Amino acid sequence: MTSKQVVYMNQGQGKTSYARNSGIQNAEQKRLKPMIEAAIADLSGSTSTSALLPTKMVVADLGCSSGPNAVALVSIAIDAIHIHCLQFLQPPPEVCVLLNDLPDNDFNTVVKSLVTLHQSNNEPIVATGIVPGSFYERLFTSGSLHLVCSSNSLHWLSKAPEDLTRNQIPAYDIDEHTRLERHPMVIEAYAQQFRKDFRSFLKFRAKELIPGGRMVVSLVGDFLSKEATCAIELPKKTPSETI
């Protein structure tokens, strides 16, 4: 068992559960609504009045967690597809909704959310599924995804930086003097691990997205730095441009 397999949100519906303590994350998901709607419009391949979506579409949320937030992003995408089809008088496409998180996530709860989503949306959903695994590895077959969403998940790294673990240096040392002294090194080690992980994330999604597929990704970052701004702009780019 590696450390990346034991990271998961608090399960269930209790006082300390993620389901009851994820309001901030949900607010961030709602902020992505216009970007997801724009991505769906982009997928129709045109801005003309005859813009049609593909007849089959696969939408995935990477790092879905459990509780009400698990289906929030894909619900926005489904609504956007539904509205787009009404607007352009297109029959609804077959939509496959896939939710991903690490294997120790509470998938039994996620399945209940998927059932509710399915029952409340007869169209355009046809298929729902769960894909357990790390989004820093391959998750889907090549060219199979139309839209990838991920909110508040990419700050979870694949592992603690090896430079630190090898020397038993914690991210937060309780001794203030040691902590302040090591601060630049610790920050740089985590930044480097993030760069490595995010590059893997983009590399694998580039393989898994269809040509012209779209990603809407939000993550915690320093908005003043150039790198963070680039990451936020990813949804506007094609997979090949993001690497």
**Contact positions vs a copy of itself (CB under 8 A):** 5, 56, 58, 94, 96, 98, 103, 106-108, 111-112, 114-115, 118, 126-133, 138-142, 144
CB closer to a copy of itself, 75 vs 218: 75
User: Closest distance between a copy of itself and the C-beta of residue 197, in Å?
Assistant: 19
Q: Shortest approach of a copy of itself to residue 57 CB, angstroms?
A: 9
C-alpha–C-alpha distance, residues 213 and 121, integer Å? 23
Strand locations in the chain (E): 56-62, 94-101, 125-132, 145-151, 209-218
Cβ at position 211, least distance to a copy of itself in Å: 15
For a copy of itself, give the closer residue by CB, 129 or 212.
Answer: 129
Tell me which residue of 83, 78, 69, 67 sits closest to 28, measured CA to CA: 69
Smallest gap, in angstroms, from Cβ of residue 153 to a copy of itself?
18
Main-chain phi, psi angles of 119, to 5 degrees: -70, -30
* Least distance (Å) between residue 114 CB and a copy of itself: 6
Q: How far is the CB of 78 from a copy of itself (least distance, A)?
A: 14
124 near 81, Cβ under 8 Å?
A: yes
Identity of the residue, 207 or 236, whose beta carbon is nearer to a copy of itself in the bound complex: 207
Question: How far is residue 239's CA from residue 142's CA, in Å, rounded to a whole number?
Answer: 13
Q: Which is nearer to a copy of itself, 29 or 128 (CB)?
A: 128
CA distance to 64, 158, 241, per residue, from 73 (Å):
9, 23, 23
How far is residue 145's CA from residue 164's CA, in Å, rounded to a whole number?
36
CB 130 within 8 A of CB 105: no
Closer Cβ to a copy of itself, 35 or 97, answer by number:
97
Nearer to a copy of itself, 115 or 180 (CB): 115
Q: How far apart are CA 173 and CA 171, in angstroms?
A: 6
Residues 6+ apart with CB under 8 A from 150: 61, 62, 63, 73, 135, 215, 216, 217, 218, 219
